[in-house]
Structure 1
Amino acid sequence: MSQQDSNHATRAALRQAFDDMIQGFQEARDAIDDPALYPPPPSDRNLAEGYRYVLGFMLAGIERALGDPLYPRFRRAIQPMNRSTIDNADAVYLGVEIDGNYSYRIRGRAADSRHWRGEPAAPGRTAPQYVIFELASGYAGDSGELSEMTPGTRINTGTLDSTALQVAEDGSFDILVAPEKPDGYKGNFLLSRRSSRGVEHVGRFLTCRELFHDWENQDLLDLEILRIGCEQEPRPPIDPEAALQMLREVGRVARNQVHFWNAFNAITLETYGQVPGGLSERMGLDKPFMPVNDMNPPNALGLATGGGQSSNIYAGGTYLLDDDQALIIETRTPVEPHFLGFHLANLWGESLDFESYPSNINAHFVETDPDGARRWVVCHRDPGVANWVSTTGVPHGYTSMRWTYPEPPPKEEWPQLKVTLVAFDAISEHLPHARRVGPGERAAQRLLRHRHVQRRYRQY
């Protein structure tokens, strides 16, 4: 083939791959309003948020496709521009593709981290409340099919959290990621290749969750990841075959992720009603797994509910409130968790705007009642009391609670949870000890949120 003919063939193949990517975007778009693809009810706001949601997965697909497992770098897997999967509004989700057949070294630095070891935190800037690294053999949702939820299909090959992380006095640490732990090695380690149920799994996607309680003082980690030996092997330039793969990957990720999570929300979580053979039936519940104006019992389902954080106990449900209604969410924790947060999300699974609204309140900010219980009030308008969690005007959405336990307590000492539907005008009657909060304090809270979100998601 002549050079000219080769150029023509390359150009045609790349144009086709680009068209395939656009087709993937269109199929992702279809999931916004095609009833066969399980979208939320088609209100004006749900439709508008659905288009933003799809754009977020397009962005995620582009970032992932441009990555290179042999020359990785951490990026934000979830951020305000692409929230999804009922994400934790108190978290930074960092992610990076690797090839677990190789070895890597993570280097990091944390501000004062004494609280990771149960010691009192120092005044001023400190490390995040809790950090966990998890290396998975696949990325949840990539297949576009719920069959990927079959036990053993995807596993964590290694986990390491801040309670076990060895940190030097200056806040520095390093983590070896490798298929085998070297003899005599005693440092921080993540296994990147592991057998389960007779199948060898290779770590492909490394996540780092940084969870925040004190939004004013807790700050991000500094992190880098390098494949061991990368300095000896300059990265080769992109060629047509790699460009073809990159373009198709962008469309595949966007399409499959949107289709998977729609089906996951409707069928696995039973957001819109019970499903034969669904989680509620398997757990012996008499209501959908995500009940309306209620929450499911605290559980540690993790991979069974989309690959959540392995050290979390979860509870979730949906709220469906009129303007004159409110939910009171109450929890008691016989064993205090390392992190506790309560959050709202829309029916696409996007956390609600947590920069301009108090749509989440964690254990640092929630005010505890004299009886030792923590109580949040969920409603559309400001009731003038502390612990108000705003729906931002979304009439129907998700509630979620996360309790983080690196070592889960005995089942009899798990968190307790109670949800009560009340009239808006009766909130004070049900929360007699709630402190009154005026417009000035709300404005100060919003400013703190704006500043923290800018710092948490800084791009420089």
Structure 2
Amino acid sequence: MAQEQTTDALKQQLRSAFDDMIQSFQEARDAIDNPALYPPPANERNLAEGYRYLLGFMLSGIERTLADPLYPRFRRAIQTTNRATIDNADAVYLMAEIDGNHSYRVRGKAADTRHWRGETPADGITAPQYVIFELSSGYAGDSGKLSEMQPGTRINTSTLDSSELLVADDGSFDILIAPEKPANYSGNFMLSKRTSRDVEHVGRYLTCRELFHDWANQDVMDLEILRIGCENEVKPPLSAREAAEHLREVGRIARNQVHFWNAFNAITLETYGQVPGGISEKMGMDRPFMPVNDMNPPNALGLATGGGQSSNIYAGGTYLLDDNEALIIETKTVIEPAFIGFHLANLWGESLDFESYPSNINGHLMESDPDGYRRWVVCHRDPGIANWVSTTGLPHGYTSMRWTYPTPPPKEHWPTLKVEKVAFEDIRKKLPHARTVSEQERADQRLIRHRHVQRRYRQY
């Protein structure tokens, strides 16, 4: 009888935890259509994509919750089924949860890496254009509140990118992650504990971004991560208490992430207009930080504005176009970056479909003009020229530019940026050197995209 009573009590505890998870999902769902929670303007596409966005955070919540920092593995933090946070359409985002009080070893192998050192690679498959590992003490959005962006709340305890990574001739490498660097150690190393503002921060989330330029020939790396000494310990089975905690945590992550990023987009980024005391006012701007049919000046914002790659210079804005309008985005780089990409996203922050549409064009996929400028044209219809960035028919969305610099250039050498709205019929007048692109070439480009996306996000 006692055993039956214990079992009945466990059943009820787990049912209660499951109900709590569902309640959190309901609260997350409210952010899709409740104006008080800052969703994008309600229309059929925004609502439909909002529910997909919610499912993505539910998936992310499950994967993150079931991860074990003592027995970590790399997984895709962002993929085609859970895009968010105005993600980079040229990137694969990998993450492994760790406990920075312990030591870990990452082992990897990449194809030809000579371009990481400024050399010319051989023909054939090569490593990603650029790779960066970052170890953070926190995960943006988990509190559900914008107050988490206060300086010092979370930090990167360490970063390591492909410009510094020691790689063997066969493309293999390893990285030691530990609270302290061993004496006389000279290999790749990432510190997992660091004190900042008199607060000790412990690394919890190891991320790896692999950025791609040549979608036809650059491929993802092989990676593994093991806690040092894990082979001497047996992982205990799951308990009912832990299962109940997992259920509640899945719901909490989904709820808080959706609430946070809605508020981040509306208040921090000022996507729908200036906010009193907001970032544009602090920067002395007379328009929203994310201006309409324009972009903010190149900036190096990072963890203080919700995260982002530490070696990037960013610029962003929104487009709002009808069928007879287009944007021409123009940039020039005094110092050539390791990576440059221009991307579009919907107002939930999901990158637009980059498999079937050219909704992003990076520095390799585009064609520069004779004067040394790079120019993209954003519009709904195909103008029949190179460097067309498709809105996929979405009238209102985000524009985003990324320039990656392993060594930050002096500010006077930062990229220039100019945005101009033009009539669709005037595109060719504004871009007289733009090459005409045939329908067959567009189809060939789409096939490269389909194949690359399958390779980048393969699960086997």
Q: How does 1:30-41 map to 2 (within 5 A)?
A: 30-41=30-41
Structure 1, unmatched stretches of 5+, are: none
In structure 1, how many angstroms separate the alpha carbons of the residues matched to 2:407 and 2:304? 19
Structure 2, unmatched stretches of 5+, are: none
What's the counterpart of residue 61 of structure 1?
A: 61
In structure 2, how many angstroms separate the alpha carbons of the residues matched to 1:67 and 1:127? 27
In the TM superposition, residue 6 of structure 1 has moved relative to its aligned partner by: 1.4
3-state SS, counterpart of residue 455 of structure 2: helix
What's the counterpart of residue 447 of structure 1?
A: 447
Deviations 1:231-267 (A, max 9, x none): 0001000001110111111001100000000000000
Range 300-309 or range 161-170, more displaced: 300-309
What's the counterpart of residue 366 of structure 1?
A: 366
The question of 1:194 aligning with 2:194 is answered: yes
The question of 1:285 aligning with 2:285 is answered: yes
In the TM superposition, residue 3 of structure 1 has moved relative to its aligned partner by: 1.9
Amino acid in the other structure paired with 1:53: Y
Q: How does 1:50-449 map to 2 (within 5 A)?
A: 50-449=50-449
In structure 2, how many angstroms separate the alpha carbons of the residues matched to 1:339 and 1:228? 34
In the TM superposition, residue 307 of structure 1 has moved relative to its aligned partner by: 0.8
Amino acid in the other structure paired with 1:32: I
In structure 1, how many angstroms separate the alpha carbons of the residues matched to 2:421 and 2:217? 35
3-state SS, counterpart of residue 32 of structure 1: helix
In the TM superposition, residue 73 of structure 1 has moved relative to its aligned partner by: 0.5
Amino acid in the other structure paired with 1:169: D
In structure 2, how many angstroms separate the alpha carbons of the residues matched to 1:242 and 1:175? 31
Q: CA RMSD in A?
A: 0.7
Amino acid in the other structure paired with 2:455: R
In the TM superposition, residue 295 of structure 1 has moved relative to its aligned partner by: 0.2
In the TM superposition, residue 9 of structure 1 has moved relative to its aligned partner by: 1.2
In structure 1, how many angstroms separate the alpha carbons of the residues matched to 2:251 and 2:427? 48
Amino acid in the other structure paired with 1:325: E
In structure 2, how many angstroms separate the alpha carbons of the residues matched to 1:360 and 1:184? 45
In the TM superposition, residue 76 of structure 1 has moved relative to its aligned partner by: 0.2
In structure 1, how many angstroms separate the alpha carbons of the residues matched to 2:379 and 2:157? 41
3-state SS, counterpart of residue 33 of structure 2: coil
In the TM superposition, residue 306 of structure 1 has moved relative to its aligned partner by: 1.1
In structure 1, how many angstroms separate the alpha carbons of the residues matched to 2:324 and 2:289? 26
In structure 2, how many angstroms separate the alpha carbons of the residues matched to 1:312 and 1:128? 16
Give every structure 1 segment of 4 or more consecutive aligned residues whose post-TM-superposition deviation is greater than 4 Å: none
Amino acid in the other structure paired with 1:283: M
In structure 1, how many angstroms separate the alpha carbons of the residues matched to 2:282 and 2:136? 25
In the TM superposition, residue 21 of structure 1 has moved relative to its aligned partner by: 0.7
In the TM superposition, residue 362 of structure 1 has moved relative to its aligned partner by: 0.1
In the TM superposition, residue 4 of structure 1 has moved relative to its aligned partner by: 1.8
In structure 2, how many angstroms separate the alpha carbons of the residues matched to 1:20 and 1:60? 18
In the TM superposition, residue 282 of structure 1 has moved relative to its aligned partner by: 1.1
Amino acid in the other structure paired with 1:145: K
Amino acid in the other structure paired with 1:106: V
In structure 1, how many angstroms separate the alpha carbons of the residues matched to 2:243 and 2:325? 53
Deviations 1:135-192 (A, max 9, x none): 0000100000000000000100010000000001111100001011111111001110
Amino acid in the other structure paired with 2:303: L
When normalised by structure 1's length, the TM-score is: 0.99
3-state SS, counterpart of residue 68 of structure 1: coil
When normalised by structure 2's length, the TM-score is: 0.99
3-state SS, counterpart of residue 259 of structure 2: helix
In the TM superposition, residue 305 of structure 1 has moved relative to its aligned partner by: 2.1
Amino acid in the other structure paired with 1:130: Y
In the TM superposition, residue 13 of structure 1 has moved relative to its aligned partner by: 0.5
3-state SS, counterpart of residue 63 of structure 1: helix
Identity of aligned residues (%): 78
In structure 1, how many angstroms separate the alpha carbons of the residues matched to 2:235 and 2:75? 19
What's the counterpart of residue 23 of structure 1?
A: 23
In the TM superposition, residue 304 of structure 1 has moved relative to its aligned partner by: 2.3
In the TM superposition, residue 2 of structure 1 has moved relative to its aligned partner by: 2.3
In structure 1, how many angstroms separate the alpha carbons of the residues matched to 2:28 and 2:39? 11
